[in-house]
Copies of this chain bind each other. A is one copy, B any other.
Amino acid sequence: MPMSKRPSPAKTPTDPAESVTRDLAEARAETAASPGSASAGMGTAAPATEPKRTRRGRPGYDRETLINKATEVFVARGYDGTSMDTVARELGITKSAIYHHVTSKEELLRLAINRGTDALASAVESESHREDLSALDRLRHAVHSSVLILIEYHHSVTLLLRVRGNSAVERDALEQRRQIDMKIRALVAEAIAEGGVRADFPPGLVTRLLFGMVNSITEWYRPSYPVDPETIAEAVTAMAFAGLAIPRRE
């Protein structure tokens, strides 16, 4: 069952979210290669309060870009061990330029994580309620969408998967994640009850393994990975629902 209706967001060159999935080093190299470009424009005087769409390859340090870049720094260096001084240095801007947009490192973490969780939650929510589909098909769509979102927002989702509940922001993130997990688990249970999914393993275990596979993509996915997001999503759903083995003909 091919599911190619949803365009692969990471392949759309003009998508503003693309910078989330670019390597920070790459972005820095570009910035360095073009002095005086818009990428150097976020000083203390920059009054950007609304997200500003920038041209490809010229990351402007408006609020959206700040969040995207900070997300990458948190992922690359670890959130706990990264000070706002380090974030500022890595982004090549001043700390006050960051505080122009956010009040604290915690707020930056919340904004960074919310990217991914909001997208995941709304995808799972909308797939869960499609009454025209069997529970199995809704589950399959939810898994497929989750893979694409995870790839599109992979730094954000990586942060989400790493939080351990050390602060109010982290506990909120864990709670959002738990809500998403519960919706998926309910879908798995419904698919089992409907006879669409094998009943020989507990729904909780099936959910953990399914999303273990999905979430593991954050570990290795890079925009340079030679397989496109749609094919990755197809591979996950094919393996999870139909299996890798080719049935032997009798």
Tell me the A residues contacting B by CB distance below 8 Å. 80-81, 136, 195-198, 200-202, 205-206, 208-213, 215-217, 219-220, 227, 231-232, 234-236, 238-246
| Contact, CB under 8 Å: A205 / B232 | yes
Total identical chains = 2
- Which residues of B lie under 8 Å from residue A201 when comparing CB positions? 227, 231, 234-235, 238-239
Shortest distance from the beta carbon of A192 to any chain B beta carbon, whole Å:
9
- Which residues of B lie under 8 Å from residue A232 when comparing CB positions? 205
**Per a CB cutoff under 8 Å, which of B200, B209, B216 touches A236?**
B209
- Which residues of B lie under 8 Å from residue A202 when comparing CB positions? 227
Of all A-B residue pairs in the complex, the 4 with the closest CB atoms, nearest first, are: A212-B216, A243-B243, A213-B213, A242-B243
22 residue pairs A–B, Cβ–Cβ below 8 Å? A80-B81, A136-B245, A195-B246, A196-B245, A197-B244, A198-B238, A201-B234, A201-B235, A201-B238, A201-B239, A205-B235, A206-B244, A209-B213, A209-B239, A212-B215, A212-B217, A212-B219, A213-B213, A239-B243, A240-B243, A240-B244, A243-B243
